[in-house]
Amino acid sequence: MNNVVSERPTFLGIHARNASTQILYISSGCQQAMGYSPQYMISKNAKEFIADPYAEKYPEIYDGAESDDDASAYVMYMNVRCGNGDVVLHRVTTFKCDNCIIVVGVAFPELPFQDRHLLEVQTLDGAMRRLNLAATEKQDRELAEKRRQVTEQGRVPLYFASQPQVKAAFVLENPQNQETDESGRRQSGSLVVFVTGSISKIIDADTSDLLRYPFMKLIAPEDILKTSKFFDRLSDSPDVLVETFSLLEKPYIIEGDVLVPDEDNRRVVVECLGANVQDGVALLMRKLRVRGPPVRNEVGEWSSYKAAVEDSDGGYLTLEEIVSSDPETSDAPSWSTLR
Protein backbone atom coordinates (compact mmCIF):
# COMPACT_ATOMS: atom_id res chain seq x y z
CA MET A 1 0.00 0.00 0.00
CA ASN A 2 1.32 3.40 -0.98
CA ASN A 3 1.18 5.55 2.13
CA VAL A 4 1.06 9.12 0.84
CA VAL A 5 1.24 10.49 4.37
CA SER A 6 4.86 9.34 4.70
CA GLU A 7 5.99 11.49 1.76
CA ARG A 8 6.15 14.66 3.88
CA PRO A 9 7.40 15.49 7.39
CA THR A 10 4.40 15.37 9.70
CA PHE A 11 3.63 15.51 13.41
CA LEU A 12 0.80 15.36 15.93
CA GLY A 13 0.54 17.79 18.83
CA ILE A 14 -1.83 18.92 21.57
CA HIS A 15 -1.84 22.36 23.15
CA ALA A 16 -3.99 24.08 25.75
CA ARG A 17 -7.06 25.91 24.55
CA ASN A 18 -6.22 29.25 26.11
CA ALA A 19 -4.05 32.29 25.50
CA SER A 20 -0.87 30.45 26.51
CA THR A 21 -1.23 27.59 23.96
CA GLN A 22 1.04 25.49 26.20
CA ILE A 23 2.11 22.29 24.44
CA LEU A 24 0.82 19.24 26.30
CA TYR A 25 1.86 16.50 23.86
CA ILE A 26 3.98 16.31 20.71
CA SER A 27 4.85 13.29 18.62
CA SER A 28 8.37 12.35 17.57
CA GLY A 29 7.61 13.56 14.03
CA CYS A 30 8.34 17.12 15.20
CA GLN A 31 12.06 16.28 14.97
CA GLN A 32 11.89 15.88 11.19
CA ALA A 33 9.16 18.45 10.53
CA MET A 34 10.53 21.28 12.69
CA GLY A 35 13.96 20.24 13.93
CA TYR A 36 13.05 20.14 17.62
CA SER A 37 12.96 17.17 19.97
CA PRO A 38 9.67 16.41 21.75
CA GLN A 39 11.42 16.99 25.08
CA TYR A 40 12.35 20.52 23.99
CA MET A 41 8.84 21.44 22.85
CA ILE A 42 6.83 20.06 25.77
CA SER A 43 5.52 22.84 28.06
CA LYS A 44 6.52 25.58 25.62
CA ASN A 45 3.82 27.71 23.97
CA ALA A 46 2.74 26.66 20.49
CA LYS A 47 2.30 30.25 19.30
CA GLU A 48 6.01 30.91 19.94
CA PHE A 49 6.87 28.70 16.97
CA ILE A 50 4.69 30.68 14.53
CA ALA A 51 6.98 32.92 12.46
CA ASP A 52 4.21 35.17 11.13
CA PRO A 53 3.21 38.54 12.68
CA TYR A 54 -0.21 37.29 13.84
CA ALA A 55 1.32 34.72 16.20
CA GLU A 56 -0.11 36.34 19.34
CA LYS A 57 -3.57 36.32 17.77
CA TYR A 58 -3.54 32.61 16.95
CA PRO A 59 -5.47 31.58 20.13
CA GLU A 60 -8.38 33.81 19.04
CA ILE A 61 -9.31 31.22 16.43
CA TYR A 62 -10.78 29.07 19.18
CA ASP A 63 -12.61 31.83 21.07
CA GLY A 64 -16.29 31.46 21.79
CA ALA A 65 -18.62 28.61 22.63
CA GLU A 66 -19.02 25.70 20.27
CA SER A 67 -22.23 25.95 18.27
CA ASP A 68 -24.56 23.05 17.74
CA ASP A 69 -23.49 22.61 14.11
CA ASP A 70 -19.77 23.30 14.60
CA ALA A 71 -17.53 20.42 13.61
CA SER A 72 -14.66 22.10 15.47
CA ALA A 73 -12.19 21.45 12.66
CA TYR A 74 -9.91 24.14 11.23
CA VAL A 75 -7.44 24.23 8.34
CA MET A 76 -4.79 26.91 7.90
CA TYR A 77 -1.33 27.53 6.41
CA MET A 78 1.35 29.23 8.46
CA ASN A 79 5.12 29.74 8.56
CA VAL A 80 6.81 27.84 11.37
CA ARG A 81 10.20 28.71 12.87
CA CYS A 82 12.37 25.58 12.82
CA GLY A 83 15.27 24.52 15.01
CA ASN A 84 17.93 25.36 12.41
CA GLY A 85 16.62 28.90 11.99
CA ASP A 86 14.74 28.22 8.77
CA VAL A 87 11.12 29.24 8.34
CA VAL A 88 9.03 26.48 6.73
CA LEU A 89 5.44 26.58 5.51
CA HIS A 90 3.13 24.13 7.32
CA ARG A 91 -0.43 23.09 6.67
CA VAL A 92 -2.05 22.87 10.09
CA THR A 93 -5.31 21.05 10.75
CA THR A 94 -6.69 21.44 14.26
CA PHE A 95 -9.52 19.80 16.21
CA LYS A 96 -11.10 21.73 19.09
CA CYS A 97 -12.38 19.63 21.98
CA ASP A 98 -12.80 20.37 25.68
CA ASN A 99 -9.90 22.50 26.95
CA CYS A 100 -7.34 21.40 24.36
CA ILE A 101 -6.51 21.69 20.67
CA ILE A 102 -5.24 18.69 18.69
CA VAL A 103 -2.85 19.74 15.92
CA VAL A 104 -1.97 17.80 12.77
CA GLY A 105 1.00 19.44 11.04
CA VAL A 106 2.38 18.81 7.55
CA ALA A 107 5.60 20.56 6.46
CA PHE A 108 6.39 21.87 2.97
CA PRO A 109 10.17 22.50 3.17
CA GLU A 110 10.56 22.65 -0.61
CA LEU A 111 8.42 25.79 -0.97
CA PRO A 112 10.18 29.19 -0.96
CA PHE A 113 9.56 31.53 1.95
CA GLN A 114 6.67 33.95 1.53
CA ASP A 115 5.53 36.63 3.99
CA ARG A 116 2.12 35.72 5.39
CA HIS A 117 0.75 38.79 7.14
CA LEU A 118 -2.76 37.38 7.01
CA LEU A 119 -3.82 34.03 8.45
CA GLU A 120 -6.84 32.64 6.63
CA VAL A 121 -8.61 29.89 8.53
CA GLN A 122 -11.17 27.60 6.97
CA THR A 123 -13.61 26.21 9.52
CA LEU A 124 -15.71 23.17 8.82
CA ASP A 125 -19.26 23.85 9.98
CA GLY A 126 -22.70 24.60 8.66
CA ALA A 127 -21.67 28.04 7.41
CA MET A 128 -18.28 27.02 5.96
CA ARG A 129 -17.12 30.47 7.06
CA ARG A 130 -13.58 31.69 6.61
CA LEU A 131 -11.97 33.73 9.37
CA ASN A 132 -8.99 36.02 8.90
CA LEU A 133 -6.53 36.87 11.64
CA ALA A 134 -4.59 40.00 10.83
CA ALA A 135 -1.77 41.98 12.34
CA THR A 136 -3.24 45.49 12.03
CA GLU A 137 -5.95 47.33 13.95
CA LYS A 138 -7.96 47.89 10.78
CA GLN A 139 -7.97 44.19 10.00
CA ASP A 140 -8.87 43.48 13.63
CA ARG A 141 -11.98 45.61 13.21
CA GLU A 142 -12.84 43.86 9.95
CA LEU A 143 -12.49 40.48 11.65
CA ALA A 144 -14.80 41.53 14.47
CA GLU A 145 -17.36 42.76 11.93
CA LYS A 146 -17.22 39.47 10.01
CA ARG A 147 -17.78 37.53 13.20
CA ARG A 148 -20.73 39.78 14.08
CA GLN A 149 -22.27 39.26 10.64
CA VAL A 150 -21.92 35.49 10.91
CA THR A 151 -23.63 35.59 14.32
CA GLU A 152 -26.47 37.81 13.11
CA GLN A 153 -27.15 36.02 9.83
CA GLY A 154 -29.91 34.02 11.45
CA ARG A 155 -29.45 30.90 9.35
CA VAL A 156 -32.24 28.37 9.78
CA PRO A 157 -30.50 24.99 10.06
CA LEU A 158 -31.96 21.78 8.67
CA TYR A 159 -31.45 19.97 11.95
CA PHE A 160 -31.63 20.86 15.61
CA ALA A 161 -30.01 19.75 18.85
CA SER A 162 -31.44 20.05 22.33
CA GLN A 163 -28.08 21.08 23.77
CA PRO A 164 -24.43 21.52 22.67
CA GLN A 165 -22.92 18.46 21.08
CA VAL A 166 -21.00 15.90 23.07
CA LYS A 167 -17.54 15.41 21.55
CA ALA A 168 -14.36 13.57 22.43
CA ALA A 169 -10.91 13.53 20.86
CA PHE A 170 -8.36 10.71 20.65
CA VAL A 171 -4.74 10.40 19.63
CA LEU A 172 -3.76 6.86 18.65
CA GLU A 173 -0.56 5.17 17.63
CA ASN A 174 -0.37 4.88 13.86
CA PRO A 175 -2.00 1.58 12.77
CA GLN A 176 0.73 1.15 10.16
CA ASN A 177 3.32 0.91 12.96
CA GLN A 178 1.60 -1.94 14.80
CA GLU A 179 3.11 -5.39 14.99
CA THR A 180 1.24 -8.15 13.17
CA ASP A 181 0.76 -11.82 13.97
CA GLU A 182 1.77 -14.74 11.72
CA SER A 183 -1.29 -14.27 9.52
CA GLY A 184 -0.35 -10.65 8.88
CA ARG A 185 -3.31 -9.29 10.85
CA ARG A 186 -2.97 -6.67 13.56
CA GLN A 187 -3.82 -8.33 16.84
CA SER A 188 -5.24 -5.45 18.83
CA GLY A 189 -5.00 -2.33 16.69
CA SER A 190 -3.75 1.09 17.68
CA LEU A 191 -3.32 1.95 21.34
CA VAL A 192 -4.82 5.12 22.79
CA VAL A 193 -2.09 7.60 23.80
CA PHE A 194 -4.40 10.55 24.56
CA VAL A 195 -8.14 11.03 25.07
CA THR A 196 -10.16 13.97 26.35
CA GLY A 197 -12.13 13.68 29.57
CA SER A 198 -15.39 14.17 27.67
CA ILE A 199 -15.20 10.54 26.54
CA SER A 200 -17.00 9.65 29.78
CA LYS A 201 -20.06 11.46 28.38
CA ILE A 202 -20.08 9.12 25.38
CA ILE A 203 -19.20 5.70 26.80
CA ASP A 204 -18.80 4.20 30.27
CA ALA A 205 -15.04 4.81 30.55
CA ASP A 206 -12.65 7.58 31.53
CA THR A 207 -9.19 8.71 30.48
CA SER A 208 -7.33 6.58 33.02
CA ASP A 209 -9.15 3.48 31.78
CA LEU A 210 -8.38 4.10 28.12
CA LEU A 211 -4.70 5.11 28.03
CA ARG A 212 -2.70 2.36 26.29
CA TYR A 213 -5.96 0.52 25.56
CA PRO A 214 -6.56 -0.92 22.05
CA PHE A 215 -8.96 1.45 20.33
CA MET A 216 -10.60 -1.25 18.21
CA LYS A 217 -11.87 -2.97 21.35
CA LEU A 218 -14.18 0.01 21.86
CA ILE A 219 -15.85 -0.59 18.50
CA ALA A 220 -19.11 -2.52 18.21
CA PRO A 221 -18.32 -5.91 16.60
CA GLU A 222 -20.57 -5.31 13.59
CA ASP A 223 -18.57 -2.13 12.75
CA ILE A 224 -15.02 -3.43 13.22
CA LEU A 225 -14.49 -4.09 9.51
CA LYS A 226 -15.95 -0.70 8.59
CA THR A 227 -13.69 1.08 11.09
CA SER A 228 -10.62 -0.86 9.93
CA LYS A 229 -11.27 0.27 6.37
CA PHE A 230 -11.57 3.84 7.65
CA PHE A 231 -8.07 3.61 9.13
CA ASP A 232 -6.80 2.14 5.86
CA ARG A 233 -8.25 5.11 3.96
CA LEU A 234 -6.64 7.50 6.43
CA SER A 235 -3.23 5.93 5.83
CA ASP A 236 -3.62 6.58 2.09
CA SER A 237 -4.85 10.16 2.31
CA PRO A 238 -3.37 13.52 3.35
CA ASP A 239 -6.90 14.81 3.96
CA VAL A 240 -9.24 14.79 6.92
CA LEU A 241 -11.78 12.01 6.40
CA VAL A 242 -15.07 11.15 8.08
CA GLU A 243 -16.81 7.92 9.06
CA THR A 244 -19.83 6.99 11.15
CA PHE A 245 -19.63 3.91 13.37
CA SER A 246 -20.81 2.57 16.71
CA LEU A 247 -18.98 2.25 20.02
CA LEU A 248 -19.93 -0.16 22.78
CA GLU A 249 -21.59 1.83 25.54
CA LYS A 250 -20.00 -0.37 28.24
CA PRO A 251 -16.67 -1.68 26.89
CA TYR A 252 -14.86 -4.38 28.86
CA ILE A 253 -11.70 -2.53 29.91
CA ILE A 254 -10.77 -3.53 33.46
CA GLU A 255 -10.37 -7.25 34.07
CA GLY A 256 -12.75 -8.35 36.81
CA ASP A 257 -15.41 -5.78 35.93
CA VAL A 258 -18.87 -6.90 34.93
CA LEU A 259 -18.77 -8.05 31.30
CA VAL A 260 -21.80 -6.88 29.35
CA PRO A 261 -22.40 -9.32 26.46
CA ASP A 262 -22.36 -7.77 22.99
CA GLU A 263 -25.99 -8.71 22.43
CA ASP A 264 -27.00 -6.70 25.54
CA ASN A 265 -24.57 -3.80 25.13
CA ARG A 266 -26.15 -0.64 23.74
CA ARG A 267 -24.43 1.08 20.81
CA VAL A 268 -23.34 4.72 20.80
CA VAL A 269 -23.32 6.01 17.23
CA VAL A 270 -20.60 8.60 16.60
CA GLU A 271 -19.48 10.61 13.61
CA CYS A 272 -15.70 10.71 13.50
CA LEU A 273 -13.25 13.05 11.79
CA GLY A 274 -9.80 11.52 11.37
CA ALA A 275 -6.36 12.66 10.26
CA ASN A 276 -3.28 10.48 9.93
CA VAL A 277 0.43 11.33 10.11
CA GLN A 278 3.57 9.22 10.24
CA ASP A 279 3.49 8.54 13.96
CA GLY A 280 -0.13 8.82 14.97
CA VAL A 281 -3.81 9.25 14.22
CA ALA A 282 -6.02 12.08 15.51
CA LEU A 283 -9.76 11.48 15.87
CA LEU A 284 -12.55 13.89 16.76
CA MET A 285 -15.91 12.23 17.31
CA ARG A 286 -19.30 13.61 18.15
CA LYS A 287 -22.10 11.61 19.69
CA LEU A 288 -25.11 11.21 17.41
CA ARG A 289 -27.43 8.81 19.22
CA VAL A 290 -27.73 5.71 21.37
CA ARG A 291 -29.49 2.62 20.09
CA GLY A 292 -30.05 -0.94 21.15
CA PRO A 293 -27.67 -3.66 19.95
CA PRO A 294 -28.40 -5.53 16.71
CA VAL A 295 -29.83 -9.03 16.77
CA ARG A 296 -28.23 -12.08 15.21
CA ASN A 297 -29.90 -14.02 12.42
CA GLU A 298 -30.20 -17.79 12.20
CA VAL A 299 -26.57 -18.18 11.06
CA GLY A 300 -25.17 -15.99 13.84
CA GLU A 301 -24.53 -12.84 11.79
CA TRP A 302 -25.45 -9.38 13.05
CA SER A 303 -28.58 -8.20 11.27
CA SER A 304 -31.25 -5.65 12.19
CA TYR A 305 -31.03 -3.38 15.22
CA LYS A 306 -33.36 -3.45 18.16
CA ALA A 307 -35.58 -0.44 18.73
CA ALA A 308 -33.59 2.79 18.86
CA VAL A 309 -32.98 4.38 22.24
CA GLU A 310 -32.62 8.15 22.08
CA ASP A 311 -31.17 10.01 25.04
CA SER A 312 -30.87 13.67 25.93
CA ASP A 313 -27.36 13.96 24.48
CA GLY A 314 -28.09 12.31 21.16
CA GLY A 315 -30.61 12.60 18.38
CA TYR A 316 -28.34 14.22 15.79
CA LEU A 317 -28.53 13.48 12.12
CA THR A 318 -25.18 12.74 10.54
CA LEU A 319 -23.95 15.28 8.01
CA GLU A 320 -24.15 12.52 5.42
CA GLU A 321 -27.85 12.06 6.20
CA ILE A 322 -28.51 15.80 6.06
CA VAL A 323 -26.78 16.32 2.71
CA SER A 324 -28.27 13.21 1.08
CA SER A 325 -31.78 14.14 2.22
CA ASP A 326 -31.78 17.42 0.33
CA PRO A 327 -28.59 18.00 -1.68
CA GLU A 328 -29.96 21.09 -3.41
CA THR A 329 -30.78 23.12 -0.30
CA SER A 330 -28.71 21.60 2.50
CA ASP A 331 -26.65 24.13 4.45
CA ALA A 332 -24.36 21.46 5.93
CA PRO A 333 -21.18 20.43 4.08
CA SER A 334 -19.86 16.96 3.55
CA TRP A 335 -17.09 15.98 5.96
CA SER A 336 -15.48 13.68 3.38
CA THR A 337 -12.33 15.74 2.80
CA LEU A 338 -10.59 18.89 3.86
CA ARG A 339 -7.88 20.17 1.57
Q: CB of 12 within 8 A of CB of 282?
A: yes
Question: Which of 5, 1, 49, 46 minimizes the C-alpha distance to 29?
Answer: 5
pLDDT (tens digit per residue) in 152-184: 554 434 333 445 678 999 999 875 555 544 444
| Sequence letter at residue 183 | S
Q: Which pLDDT tens digit goes with each residue over 51-85?
A: 999 999 999 888 866 655 565 788 899 999 999 99
- In the chain, what are the domain boundaries? 4-152, 167-325
DSSP string, 174-204: -GGGS-B-TTS-BSS-PBEEEE-GGGGGTSS
pLDDT, one tens digit per residue, over 194-242 is: 999 999 999 999 999 999 999 999 999 999 999 999 999 998 888 888 8
pLDDT digits (tens, 9 = 90+) for 280-308: 999 999 999 999 888 766 666 656 555 55
Going from the C-alpha of 33 to that of each of 23, 197, 268, the distances in angstroms are: 16, 29, 37
Are both 4-152 and 167-325 of the same fold? yes
What local confidence, expressed as pLDDT, does residue 319 receive? 44
Q: Phi first, then psi: what are they for 223, rounded to 5°?
A: -110, 10
CATH code of the domain occupying 167-325: 3.30.450.20
pTM of the shown model: 0.73
In CATH, the number for domain 4-152 is 3.30.450.20
Q: Is-contact 30 13, C-beta < 8 A?
A: yes
Which SS3 state, helix, strand or coil, does residue 115 take?
A: coil
Using CA atoms, how far apart are residues 57 and 121, in angstroms rounded to an integer?
A: 12
